[in-house]
A = this chain, B = another copy of it.
Amino acid sequence: MTGKTTKTSILDLCLRAKKASREVKKASTHQKNDAINKIADHLWHSRDAILAANMLDQASARNEGLSDALLDRLLLDESRIAIIVDDLRKVARLSDPVGEIFENQEMPNGLIIYKQRVPLGVLGVIYEARPNVTVDAAGLSLKSGNCAILRGGSETIHSNLALVDAIQQGLKGTNIPGDTIQLISSTDRNHVHKLLQMDDYIDMIIPRGGKGLHDFCRQNSRIPVITGGIGICHLFVDQSADLAQSIEVIRNGKIQRPSVCNALDTCLIHHSIAKDFLPKLVSRLAADGVLFKADEKAWDILSESNFDCVQLAGNQDFDTEWLSMILGLKVIDNMDEAIEHISIHSTSHSDGILTENRENASRFLLQVDSAVVYVNASTRFTDGSQLGLGAEMAISTQRLHARGPMGLKELTTYKWVVQGNYSTRL
């Protein structure tokens, strides 16, 4: 099986990626799309081998007593492979950002200057659990003209080896080198550390996982790290908001997919509407099985109604990304307090206001500096597909390079091109 690494070969992987990068970088859109479609064909063709490998992962996961939720995350079946393959074909249909020319200008001295979009080079993608990330990351890297060195979770090592094997087989007979997509096959964590030192070869590290992984990467990497994917998300219900519609937006933010980073964590409610609004909100979402963590003011209001699903919030509750059917509730005196709360407790992922007041909406937009700021919409829209990128590699909550959903363009950089007429500087 190709795609394997031994203990000593992170450098070897890097050297191969660097070499492949020079080819992929200059590949035409047609060549890249053709390669992606060939990979899709080959993944589908190899589905039996992939499912057999996935069975091995499932067996060891069950042996190790992983939860049903985790078992489901790593599970592949024929229909999931079909979705993965279909998503990959969609990437082939996205428009190619590489080569785009922008910011043209002609200087008074006659120099013609423009910027041109080019691939970043080599991406290091470090992720946990889900095997679909292997194929997603491969497709987006290739389409944006980059090479990828992938490091998946140990729970899916057999699946990932089979997937990357199929990817590399798919690349045979195309203009794209097989080394464009490589996998670190050892599950030894030291290899991640080694990878993070390879700043001569890797241009960007994308960790996809929990806070521990992000912190580890930031602490140990010589390579720029895109941190993100951790969302303590807020919606502030202004006194002017349409209450019935606000409840539906909050419900969408909380229950539509509670396990992901753009799910709503805390609802801030203006005190002047709290008495009317809170019991209605809680009744509606209680029926969905939501549990509430209420600050003292909200608790006072809600305790009159004797809801089973309401608890008094503890110290850490407004600093917790719930990833589950829990929602924080806090009554605040005015919008400044809401903005202050968000500035302290938000991870700057996705925060919004529900309001009918344009002035309040503007002030909120000006003062809340999260990756995505909302007016009258669910935080669940923070997603590459929903925001028009077609797909996403990650959601950045850092400030450099890219913020929020990162699609193909965010996996590129630019170079300056300057054309003169034997021009010299005065």
Contact = CB atoms under 8 A, between A and B. Distances in A.
A309 B386 CA distance: 64
Nearest to A383: B425
A271 interface: no
Contacts of A251: 424
A380 interface: yes
Interface stretch (A51-59, A283-291, A398-406): A398-406
A203 B400 contact: yes
A67 interface: no
A224 B222 contact: no
A416 B387 contact: yes
A282 interface: no
Interface in A93-123: 105, 107, 111, 113, 116, 118, 120-121
Given A204-B400, A413-B400, A415-B403, A388 B422 contact: no
A306 to B, nearest CB: 29
B252 A377 contact: no
Contacts of A375: 417-420
Contact of A245 (B26, B218, B422): B422
Interface stretch (A1-9, A31-39, A163-171, A363-371): A363-371
A248 B422 contact: yes
A32 to B, nearest CB: 15
A143 interface: no
Contacts of A370: 415
Interface string A254-267: 00100000000000
B418 A377 contact: yes
Contacts of A361: 419
Chain A interface size range: 35 or more
A416 to B, nearest CB: 4
Contacts of A398: 203, 224
B400 A242 contact: no
Given A204-B400, A388-B113, A399-B121, A373 B425 contact: no
Given A222-B219, A366-B26, A414 B403 contact: yes
Contacts of A249: 422-424
A219 B200 CA distance: 12
A316 interface: no
Contact of A377 (B116, B386, B387, B420): B420
Contacts of A424: 248-249, 251-252, 256, 377-378, 380
A313 B1 CA distance: 46
Contacts of A256: 424-425
Contact of A242 (B25, B116, B373, B422): B422
A413 B388 contact: no
Interface in A190-247: 199, 203-204, 218-219, 222, 224-225, 242, 245-246
Contacts of A120: 399-400
Contacts of A113: 387-388
A90 interface: no
Q: Which one of A365, A373, A387, A418 has the highest number of Cβ atoms from chain B below 10 Å of its Cβ?
A: A418
The 10 A-B pairs at the shortest CB distance, nearest first, are namely A377-B420, A252-B424, A245-B422, A380-B425, A401-B401, A377-B423, A372-B416, A375-B419, A224-B400, A399-B413
26 contacts: A25-B369, A105-B388, A107-B386, A116-B365, A204-B399, A204-B400, A224-B225, A224-B401, A245-B422, A248-B424, A252-B424, A252-B425, A256-B424, A370-B415, A371-B416, A372-B417, A374-B418, A376-B420, A381-B418, A381-B420, A386-B425, A399-B413, A400-B400, A400-B401, A400-B413, A403-B413
